[in-house]
Chain A
């Protein structure tokens, strides 16, 4: 097991390096001048050249990449062009905020998805299964932006039960575990949880239905095991697949949803990226995307290790 984990960790190094190259290259391939937002109206060519040199954009791309990577490895993600604040000091709180939202959303999604998936798996082929399948497909297909607005209109504007936007009266700095704060989490987390819930429900349903068809199930029943014990066996067999789906969904949610975070003014990575894209804040974009990509790689690593721990057959494969 230890060797396997070590090997997986070593594999992540070239992956991380590849991710950094792609992230750097993609942003530079995008059209437009990143300095257009900061170059003053009517600036002379000399002044423009000075500003370009100050941000290091006058260097060839490979040189820019190596310098950037060198700084990143020492924890220096550069300075935002627009705000003049260090990128890391902007990204870190945004990631915490997105993590808060993503965790709540994945919990909602996991609970709802598993309940629906197990029900459909056990009732495979019956009307209830078709209803659950229809609900989960709707969940996957529903546009976040629209759902967020609908939930706001119903619960914040019409029923006046939950707040419409933000992270609380005092902002993210005073966000805590009390209802005063958590009420701000309900609508964005519900909105974000719909897709993972749908995907998890479909995945759980398929896996449960598949496991229940296998021969060892007959053996378990034949041995006289109570239904609850049989269910535990079903869960154990279905868990690796569900874990993989959950890991991927959590990693995707960590990327933040530009639309959901914008609709709810949730100051997470999606909101940050949206802002950085519109202002072409290159250091901010690169830093945020790199950190998020690394989270993605890390979560995949953790899921792989967890899957192996739950089902040793995966290691052998």
Chain B
């Protein structure tokens, strides 16, 4: 009898469970016209106060959406590299007598989201917010995030309500690039909220095309259209933008397929066929990204010998690597994509040529039986790191085939970045001959000048391995002092050609920046940039 009762109870529970999961009302959230829901790779909502955290993704979603800089990236074209154009500054000039002094003419009639006016006082307020430690509005968190962009600024002053003068520490033609990532927060809103950046974070006010309506840490940020944006061509097509942090790639894909989001960042390569079969749009484009080994030039490093460096570059089957990545990458021919204006005309062609690699290694005293032994620091994941573990294993096999025996030290992403900031000569990096840290070349400094110049060894710049080449130094200095963009691009092309000819790093592939969009998402132009403009995007 007890057994019968028990079976009845089991049946009842099962029936309830089945009813619950087969409820007739479809539960999934569907696209809402005018509302764009984006799944980010970040695990948290980046800082909302002006200088976003979370690197380029932070700027992409919480920087250029809510705020503007004095300059901005033109993200309206997919067939050419993004360029710097005027934004809150209408124009700028450099003093010919002292080329460290810049004058910026500000745009008139621009209002913050709170209705207050943008003017020279607001620029001074924001520079002090980042760089003047004793200013009441100084914010360490924003200062940390903006540090690499304001590093060359020595001083600033208001000339009149719509004119600001900025002085750089040395002659620096790259300044307008950096100003695109220094964002203007509203002084009036900060004062209204008791001069508290914590409260400002919940009710921020910028001049950008979107206004933050609400946000909940680690869950969501909701923005609405700013109908009064100063650039009428950039009034947002969508009424609402919802940002959702989803660090797990498979979760993002599931959310897209089940209709919970309209747009996902970085879908994993193996999910692409499934997404395509469901009619999702997979958008890709080259952008200033390179997946390299930054290498050591210390005495114990086999890479000190240019023949070994060239051999390593020739040993990699990039087509195979791209195939392994589902086609979501492009083979590299140097630091810069070969269609970019800074590519130049290198004489050393980076390609897959294992026989030539073996020959060069033999000249350097190495062979498959007597391989060059190298140790490289890698991470299991990280921003821009693509699929680091299988990619590194793939390259290890390629290297083994020609006579380079590579060993890995696997570190957490932040730990790897710390070791990269220390330089190859730091005691912690002793015996390490390379670091696999994905790199950007969105501006001349980070991309070429401060990675190649011997005067930019870390911590002064990004030269991790101690590359030291007089010609590269001369070109880097010239690029820094060339103000005409066309001329500067030529010098940068020469610099790039030089570092390729010297095989300064080992360059593998450029990421193609994949995104997956639901079929009803229209208007997106994928710029060749780490940043993207969401203003023309609309969910139909």
Residues of A at under 8 Å CB distance from B? 31-33, 36-44, 51, 54, 82-85, 90, 94, 111, 115, 118-119, 122, 149, 152-153, 155-157, 160-167, 169, 171-173, 179, 183, 186, 227-228, 231, 262-265, 267, 271-272, 274-275, 278-280
Contact = CB atoms under 8 A, between A and B. Distances in A.
A169 B31 CA distance: 12
Interface in B278-305: none
A82 B44 contact: yes
A163 B29 contact: yes
8 contacts: A41-B459, A85-B217, A111-B13, A162-B21, A163-B29, A186-B21, A267-B218, A275-B44
A165 B219 CA distance: 11
A15 to B, nearest CB: 31
Contact of A161 (B22, B147, B151, B257): B22
Interface in B202-233: 216-220
Q: How large is the interface on B (under 10, 10 to 19, 20 to 34, 35 or more residues)?
A: 35 or more
Nearest to B381: A278
B218 A271 contact: yes
B23 interface: yes
B148 A42 contact: yes
Given A31-B415, A231-B2, A42 B461 contact: yes
Contact of B248 (A32, A157, A263): A263
B110 interface: no
Contacts, number: 166
A228 B21 contact: no
Contact of A157 (B1, B197, B254): B254
A265 B246 contact: yes
Interface of B: 1-3, 5-6, 9-10, 13, 20-23, 25-29, 43-44, 47, 53, 140-141, 143-145, 147-148, 151, 197-198, 201, 216-220, 244-248, 250-251, 254-255, 257-260, 412-415, 417-418, 421, 458-462
Given A83-B44, A115-B9, A264-B251, 20 more contacts: A36-B418, A39-B144, A40-B143, A40-B147, A40-B148, A43-B459, A90-B217, A122-B3, A152-B251, A153-B254, A157-B254, A163-B28, A164-B28, A166-B244, A172-B216, A172-B219, A231-B2, A275-B218, A278-B413, A280-B414
A172 B209 CA distance: 27
Contact of B417 (A36, A44, A111, A169): A36
A224 B235 CA distance: 83
A186 B28 CA distance: 13
A172 to B, nearest CB: 6
Contacts of B247: 262, 274-275
A163 B6 CA distance: 33
A40 B143 CA distance: 8
Given A152-B254, A275-B43, A279-B414, A161 B23 contact: yes
B219 A227 contact: no
B13 A115 contact: yes
Contacts of A82: 44, 53
A45 B143 CA distance: 16
B218 A156 contact: no
B412 A42 contact: no
Contact of B144 (A38, A122, A231): A38
Given A40-B148, A155-B21, A265-B244, A161 B27 contact: yes
Nearest to B43: A275
B217 A165 contact: no
